Amino acid sequence: MLIDSYDRVVDYIRVSVTERCNFRCQYCMPEKPFSWVPKENLLSFEELFEFMKIAIDEGVKKIRITGGEPLLREDLDKFIKMIYDYKPTVDLAMTTNAYLLKGTAQKLVDAGLKRINVSIDTLKPDIAQKIAGKDVLKNVLDGVNEALKVGLKVKVNMVPMKGMNENEILEVLEYCKERNMSIRFIEYMENTHAKVDISGLKSKELLEILGAKYKFTDEGFDGSSPSHYYLLEDGYKFGIIEPYEDDFCKKCNRIRLTAEGNLIPCLYFDEAMSIRDSIKKGDIQGAALILKEVIRTKPEKNRWGGEDGEVSTRAFYETGG
Ligand code: SAM
Ligand code: SF4
């Protein structure tokens, strides 16, 4: 079992299989063009799988594939199948923008994927274009329909931003509710890669908007999920992810692996250790030691909401959120 210095059990790893993306979401990526890590620097799926085996053997029970956009990486279904065949009981999920999901959803299910999280910030094509930098909405919604059709469980992530999609909070929730998909509103997390003038809605503001239409009760937290849950009268639950609040880190059970092999203990900080050389040399024991060291150095909490005005320099497209 992996336990950090604050007695938190770490049993969840998020694997970013590429930092590349077909979107340029304002809250995630720089506006101006920048150069990607060369493809040859990425670990192969076989190499990533070697590390997944180590993590699973050390007690990891949940693996989320993310990016950048994970569906940009060819043969993703083969990576999913490797993990599934090694341990079918691992809770295997993926976070995607859904743009390429229509043609791939069935293959992913056949490989062993059960659940996906999809980012839907708006149901208006022009706002989607503004947020993502291109006309994406039709493909995203087609992708979601396909995912539901092939039996994937779908959760939706929405990042509410002032002057952008703040007047669609109720609509996006209704869209999810009608399709039996849960929704989590994610407070915008400031970082140096995002567009500078974004102002995200905080949970208090979200609750005011939602409270104008619905009655709900505060359900608190559920296990290690960072979501603060609320229950509507009709039984539908929605979540809010509040990184600026203290509770966010208390039950944190996760670490992150980038496509290049950097193992990251916290979403906020730049600190990381590379498992790349160990994995490339086939040094399983060495990679396991690095995993334990990263767990040992996992910080107690992030600094969003800190008083010194410091902004995270960690890129979401690299860590996978
Ligand atoms: N491309 C996929 C997607 O968009 O779902 C997976 C990677 S993306 C980095 C993972 C999640 O991070 C998405 O739900 C996205 O909304 C969220 N995200 C990215 N930047 C964020 C930020 N600055 N604040 C809050 N959430 C952010
Ligand atoms: Fe791409 Fe996801 Fe970042 Fe948007 S949030 S730019 S879809 S990685």
Choosing among 3.10.20.740, 3.40.50.880, 2.40.10.10, 3.20.20.70, the CATH entry for 12-319 is 3.20.20.70
**How many angstroms separate the CA atoms of 53 and 15, rounded?**
13
Query: Is the full-model pTM beyond 0.75?
Result: yes
pLDDT digits (tens, 9 = 90+) for 230-274: 999 999 999 999 888 867 788 889 999 999 999 998 888 878 899
- pLDDT tens per residue, range 191-237: 888 887 899 999 999 999 999 999 999 999 888 888 999 999 999 99
Segment 143-169, tens digit of pLDDT:
999 999 999 999 999 999 999 999 999
- What was the pLDDT predicted at 299? 85
Ligand nearest to the CA of 316: 1
- In angstroms, the CA 321 to CA 275 distance is 20
CA angle 35, 41, 43 (to 5 degrees): 130
CB 257 within 8 A of CB 45: no
Which one of 27, 316, 317 would you pick to mutate in the ligand 1 pocket, going by the greatest count of ligand atoms within 8 A of its CB? 316
Res. 293: pLDDT tops 90: yes
264 in helix, strand or coil? Answer: strand
Domain boundaries, the chain: 12-319
Distance CA 229, CA 219 (A): 5
Retrieve residue 194's tokens.
């995002």
Backbone angles phi, psi at 97, to 5 degrees: -85, -5
Pocket-testing residue among 29, 96, 139, ligand 2, by greatest number of atoms within 8 A of Cβ? 29
Given a cut of 70, whether residue 309 has pLDDT beyond it is no
Q: Is the pLDDT of residue 33 over 70?
A: no
- Ligand 2 neighbours by CB, cut-off 6 Å: 21, 23-25, 28-29, 67-69, 97, 119, 316-317
